[in-house]
Amino acid sequence: MKSDFWYRFFKNKMAVAGGIVVIALFVVSFLAPWIAPYDPNEIDLVHVLEPPSADHLFGTDQLGRDVLSRMIWGSRISLKVGFVATGIAIVIGAILGALAGYYGRWTDSVVMRFVDIMLCFPSFFLILAVIAILEPSIWNIMIVIGLTGWMGITRLVRADFITLKERDFVHAARAIGASDIRIIFRHILPNAMASMLVAATLGVAGAILTESALSFLGIGVQPPTPSWGNILTAGKDNIDIAWWLSLYPGLAILITVLGYNLLGEGIRDSLDPRLRS
């Protein structure tokens, strides 16, 4: 029941804190054109590597650009990568998991062996290899992260389908002549949305972290487009004299990923029937 879910969710203080962080990130990214104090790409060689001050709350980088403005605009990149990459993974994982769980037998064997093969490759190194071949761009990053992050979702959806396909409502739909496609997408898949929602929430955090790591290594979002990862790269190059270039984007990544993880854990606990009193 919805009221039961919200009661357990709001009772979980850590989940609420994660939700607040996620909502705040949405608000900041949406209002970026109005709340960013400076143009994120405006070069000011007079104020290079200035520490935090009243004029530049988070200081400036090696080109005199305002770090706070770049971080605010960088939040848009993080959200875009997180949601698009996770969306791709959800679509692939849901389709393959549904087919494996519903049909079973050789379909299940083929899909799950493919999942096992994909899991043999460390995802981050696979992403590095693909990005090194392709031209580094935000779209390539989103697609590659999505194409390498669907395996866990496939397993979750498959497990739900194996259980749900034996329920009475599925037998009733089959008895009145409903097609397999209709049964899968109209009757079973909506009932598997809970686990997919949790996986999506946690997947966004993983995608943001992966994008930041790629940008930090110089093969992610390319300058001058602001990204938390490439701000960290500037911090690495000036760590002895500009601590703020490492501290603030690092904290932003930490808080954002922690917020999504707490939200995902809270949703999972609130949906878990075993925790109902």
The CATH number covering residue 197 comes to 1.10.3720.10
- Residue 118's Cβ-count burial label (10 Å; 0-12, 13-18, 19+) is middle
Q: Is residue 53 part of a domain?
A: no
Does residue 45 sit within a domain?
no
Can you name the residues that pair with 60 across neighbouring β-strands?
Answer: 66
Torsion of CA 209, 142, 82, 88, to 10 degrees: -130
Count of domains in the chain? 1
The per-residue pLDDT for 28 is 92
What sign has the CA pseudo-torsion 211, 215, 220, 224? positive
Predicted TM-score (pTM) of this structure: 0.87
Rg (CA), the chain: 22
Q: What is the pLDDT of residues 152-202, one digit of tens each?
A: 899 999 988 888 888 888 888 888 888 888 888 888 888 888 888 888 888
> 65, 71 in Cβ contact below 8 A?
no
Q: How far apart are CA 65 and CA 49, in angstroms?
A: 9
Judge whether 52 lies within some domain: no
pLDDT digits 0-9 by tens, 67-112? 999 999 999 888 888 899 999 999 999 999 999 988 878 888 999 9
> Is 155 contained in some domain?
yes
Under 8 Å between Cβ of 244 and 52: yes
- Reading phi first (left if > 0) and then psi (alpha if -120 to 50, else beta), residue 122 is in beta
Residue 208 is part of which domain span? Answer: 2-33+67-275
Residues with Cβ < 8 Å from 30, sequence gap 6 or more? Answer: none
Q: Judge whether 89 lies within some domain.
A: yes
58 φ/ψ angles, rounded to the nearest 5 degrees: -110, 15
Higher pLDDT, 122 or 37: 37
CB atoms within 10 A of CB 189: 20
Helix axes 244-271, 13-30, angle to 10 degrees: 130
